[in-house]
Structure 1
Amino acid sequence: MREHTVTVTECAATQLHELRELVGILTDAQYVHRPQGASSIASHVRHCVDHYTAILDGVDTGTVEYDRRVRGTALETDRSFALARLAEVRSQVCGLAARSLDRPVEVISVVDSDGSVARTRSTASRELLFVSHHAVHHVAVMVPMARTLGVNVPAQFGYAPATLASLR
């Protein structure tokens, strides 16, 4: 079997497109519905967008801070806003120049409940790949939530690309 190679921006753009499609088939009420003891689909979307935003900012600043997130934003309450923001983030990801993805970045992560951080070195492309893979897992949580709300979600949504490839 011949291996097909895609860029990390294509991988991320595909993931953002799937996420936007999922949000697009929900109603406003389904988007913000919060099952007892669980986060809403909207909360997962906000989390994914926050991570993509962190890497987009990191390409410019040289620092990626995934834990600098603002909760309770319009992403968690307004499905139309979320659809627009997902399209905007996808456009920004698609517009990243290959050379900017080779830039080194410092990743700062909160590693303890006391606020202690760890600092690691990476590249923008490695972090973009991480973020797109991280989003897969959130979609995997959102899909069953949507199905319990009666949404007909495409069968391939919520699976990691490697899983889909092995099923073929």
Structure 2
Amino acid sequence: MTPWEEDEERAAGVVGYATAQLGHTRELLGMLSDAQYVCRPHEAGSCVAGHVRHCVDHYTALLAGAGGGTVDYDRRKRGGVLETDRGAALARLADVSARVAAVTPADLDRPVDVLSVVDAAGTVVRTRSTVGRELLFVAHHAVHHLAVMVPVARALGVAVPVEFGYAPATLAYLRRA
């Protein structure tokens, strides 16, 4: 039995955290119009669409690499339909969320090699990890992108829930303070 299988509550927490971040992103997209999704307000400097595509790419890279044993976050398609079509982004987020929700405790313990470009020359390094550790990374990565998407949406006049874009540790700290 793997460590993740021995502690199903911990495994459920990791998967739940990742699906919650995907859910917040889907909820945010549901608050936006198609035009707002691709709008780049001057004061914000970016649009929601690019951040969504980037996060979906990371989850997709992890899910694809989990089976083959190698995760490559840097090998992704930039642009494309997720950066222009809110409906396609919502559908893709729903698909990715369902796939993440299906990750089992045994899956989380599976070893993977992670390829990373570490400099502008394109140098690639390979590090060892597990699917569980990488799912935590991708969820943390996504919450930080959500933290950028929230002010963009607010600049467009959208009322976004206060807790969106905060890491769980920050929310826990704020609740204690």
TM exceeds 0.5?
A: yes
| Mapped partners of 1:56, 1:28: distance in 2 | 28
CA-CA distance at 1:98 after TM superposition = 1.4
CA-CA distance at 1:35 after TM superposition = 3.5
Greater shift, 77-86 or 92-101, is seen at 92-101
Greater shift, 65-74 or 36-45, is seen at 36-45
Provide the residue aligned with 1:29 in structure 2: 35
Match for 1:109 among 113, 116, 119?
Answer: 116
Residues 59 and 101 in structure 1, CA contact (< 8 A), matched pair in contact too:
no
Aligned to 1:153, the other structure's residue is in SS state coil
Provide the residue aligned with 1:144 in structure 2: 151
| Mapped partners of 2:53, 2:114: distance in 1 | 20
Residues 112 and 129 in structure 2, CA contact (< 8 A), matched pair in contact too:
yes
| Mapped partners of 2:132, 2:88: distance in 1 | 27
Residues 41 and 155 in structure 2, CA contact (< 8 A), matched pair in contact too:
no
Residues 109 and 119 in structure 1, CA contact (< 8 A), matched pair in contact too:
yes
CA-CA distance at 1:167 after TM superposition = 1.2
Residues 136 and 160 in structure 1, CA contact (< 8 A), matched pair in contact too:
yes
Q: Which one-letter code corresponds to 2:65 in the other structure?
A: G
Provide the residue aligned with 2:18 in structure 1: 12
Give the TM-score of the pair, scaled to structure 1. 0.94
| Mapped partners of 1:127, 1:49: distance in 2 | 14
Aligned residues: 165
RMSD: 1.4
Provide the residue aligned with 1:61 in structure 2: 68
Structure 2 residues without counterparts, runs of 5 or longer: 1-8
| Mapped partners of 2:133, 2:89: distance in 1 | 25
Residues 52 and 89 in structure 1, CA contact (< 8 A), matched pair in contact too:
yes
Q: Could you give the per-residue CA deviations for residues 20-72 of structure 1, whole angstroms, max 9, x where no partner exists? A: 10111011111001234833110000000000001101111100100011011
Identity among equivalent pairs (%): 64
Structure 1 residues without counterparts, runs of 5 or longer: none
- Give 1:47-126 correspondences, 5 Å limit: 47-126=54-133
More helix by share: 2
Give the TM-score of the pair, scaled to structure 2. 0.89
Provide the residue aligned with 1:159 in structure 2: 166
| Mapped partners of 2:49, 2:34: distance in 1 | 10
| Mapped partners of 2:109, 2:97: distance in 1 | 19
Within the alignment, does 1:44 sit opposite 2:45 as a pair?
no
| Mapped partners of 1:97, 1:7: distance in 2 | 12
Residues 46 and 152 in structure 2, CA contact (< 8 A), matched pair in contact too:
no
Q: Could you give the per-residue CA deviations for residues 63-97 of structure 1, whole angstroms, max 9, x where no partner exists? A: 01000110111100000000010000000001112
Following TM superposition, where does structure 1 have runs of at least 4 consecutive aligned residues deviating by more than 6 angstroms?
none
